[in-house]
Amino acid sequence: MQIKLQKSLCPHGQEYYKKICSVFGNSILDESKNINRRKFAGIIFSDIEKKQKLDSITLEYVVPKIKEIAENKRKNKDVVIDAPLLFESNLDKYCDVTVSVVADKDKCIERIIKRDKITEEEAKSRINSQRSQNFFKINCNYSINNEDGEDIEKQIKEIFLSKENLSNESVIHLYSQGIEYLQFRRLLEYGDKIEHCFTLKDLDFNINYKSDNGESKSNIKNVLNDYKKICDVLKIDYKNVYKPIQTHSKNIKIIKDEKQGLYLPEFENVDGLITDKRNKILSLSFADCTPLYFYDAKKNIIANIHSGWKGTYQEIAREAVKKLKEEFNVNPENLICAIGPCIKKCCFEVSHDVMTMFYEKFKNICERENIIQESKSTDKYYIDTTLINKIILKEEGLKEENIIDSKICTNCNSNKIHSYRKDKEFSGRNTAIITLI
């Protein structure tokens, strides 16, 4: 809730004004006995306890009034609550949908200096007293990036006028600098240690593409350009990207001091990357296959795994956890695994021979009756590779609460996500990125 310093602008204004003066003293007043906004800001933004005290006073008077107004207006139409202290006041529990508007810290400081005519030091004090961008990405239903102001209208339409926003309880759909991407709320809790994302269809990381006449052509320049775009959004250096030559194997490479780059010979036939080194951007490409992001906050180690149906059949997830245990002494109970968008059971239809392979491989696994489902209309079968990966991860010691499913099917959302099942040889590629910062 924005502080209204004039007595007449606040509900119960005189009482609110007197209480602030009684708590903070007359030293915050100017010669006209009004609160000196700049002086008062200097006091509360330099002392977290004083800031919290002011917030509690403000909430005491403002929250009941907001609830009263909301109840009166809600009978006839929707109500929008604009409250910077939404979560501190517990008003978020009162909302059906919460939307945050965020921007880069430096951009916020620049805007505050211009708007309030204050020094850079004063502006930094204000920003440092506020919740971080990641807090709002984690806790709001949706987040709008107001970095340049150009995407605001598009983002609002995406959220409220269409069903194309992919945000859910596990992931948040973000827009920044004209780029759309997904992030996991759980991984955002470690935003001071890692950066990550899953790109959407406005970017393409397929090194080859099919022309209209079916001819295959190199797409490397566009791929490099798209890496630069997404890395600029994440504020990491695209020159530090490690992108292997994926072959649907179960081979996993540990990155130490190897030369970075795209499709280097030493990274041929590799479908998983692990590192405990900072500024090593692990990147894999996907178009229906399953991305597995691993993070151990205790050891500060990350892994990025490509688990297509062949990789799932070969249990590359198990291979990844074993390698983390053997090479880094990781306790699997500390591991988080975020399962990115992939083709789900609803759309992963296979023939009898593939079904038989999976049945023989996993017939002794728990929940096997949920892994394979026979089609009611064709002689095909549906396989749940996400569930197989979850079971493998739990067998290797991961806690169920640390396995985070995006719950997004790439084929069902092929208007937003590259899907080979949908577009066949004309399909582009999404990329999953994770790096220690």
Rounded distance between C-alpha atoms, residue 252 and residue 355, angstroms: 26
Residue with tokens 């992939």: 342
- pLDDT tens track for 122-160: 889 888 888 899 999 999 998 888 876 666 777 777 777
Q: pTM score, two decimals?
A: 0.88
pLDDT grade for 9, boundaries at 50, 70 and 90 = very low
CB 45 within 8 A of CB 28: no
Domains and CATH numbers, the chain: 1-78 (no CATH), 166-348+384-436 (3.60.140.10)
Distances in whole angstroms, Cα of residue 412 to Cα of each of 142, 385, 422: 21, 16, 9
Q: Are 286 and 264 in contact (CB under 8 A)?
A: no
**DSSP category for residue 33:** S
Average pLDDT (49-74) is 83
Per-residue model confidence as pLDDT tens digits over 53-62: 888 888 888 8
Tell me what the pLDDT averaged over the chain comes to.
89
pLDDT at 1: 31
**Which uninterrupted H or E stretch holds 274?**
strand 272-275
* Model confidence pLDDT, tens digit, residues 365-401: 877 778 999 998 888 999 999 999 999 999 999 999 9
DSSP-derived 3-state class of residue 324: helix
Q: What is the pLDDT of residue 216?
A: 64
DSSP E strands in 281-380: the ranges are: 281-286, 290-296, 301-307, 335-339, 349-350, 372-374
Half-sphere exposure of 276 (CA within 13 A, CB side): 12
CA gap 195, 179 in Å, rounded? 16
Q: Which has the higher per-residue pLDDT, 218 or 324?
A: 324
Place of tokens 């406005």: 202
Helix, strand, coil share (%) of the chain residues, nearest 5? 40, 20, 40
Q: Give the Å distances, CA to CA, from 43 to 1, 36, 128.
A: 18, 11, 14
Q: Cα separations (Å) of 294 from 169, 219, 220, 309? A: 19, 29, 28, 19
382-to-235, 350, 391 alpha-carbon distances in Å: 40, 6, 17
Q: How many separate helices (H) and strands (E) can be counted in the chain?
A: 15, 20
Q: Which residues, other chains included, contact 183 with Cβ-Cβ below 8 Å and sequence gap of 6+?
A: 137, 171, 172, 174, 196, 197, 198
pLDDT of res. 76: 66
> In percent, how much of the chain has pLDDT > 90?
57
Q: Using CA atoms, how far apart are residues 209 and 92, in angstroms rounded to an integer?
A: 46
Query: Looking at per-residue confidence, does 213 or 38 come out higher?
Result: 38
In order, the DSSP letters of 80-111 are: ----TTTTTTTGGGG-S--EEEE--HHHHHHH
Q: In what order do the strands lie in the sheet with 290-296?
A: 252-254, 272-275, 301-307, 290-296, 335-339, 403-405
Of the listed ranges 57-66, 117-126, 336-345, 418-427, the one predicted with least confidence:
57-66
Contact 48, 42 (CB under 8 A): no
Map residue 337 onto helix, strand or coil.
strand
Residues whose CB is less than 8 angstroms from the CB of residue 347 and which lie 6 or more positions away in sequence, other chains included? 382, 409, 411, 412, 421
What's the rounded Cα separation, in Å, for the pair 367 and 363? 9
pLDDT band at 8 (very low <50, low <70, confident <90, very high): very low
Closest CA to 396 of 303, 345, 331: 331
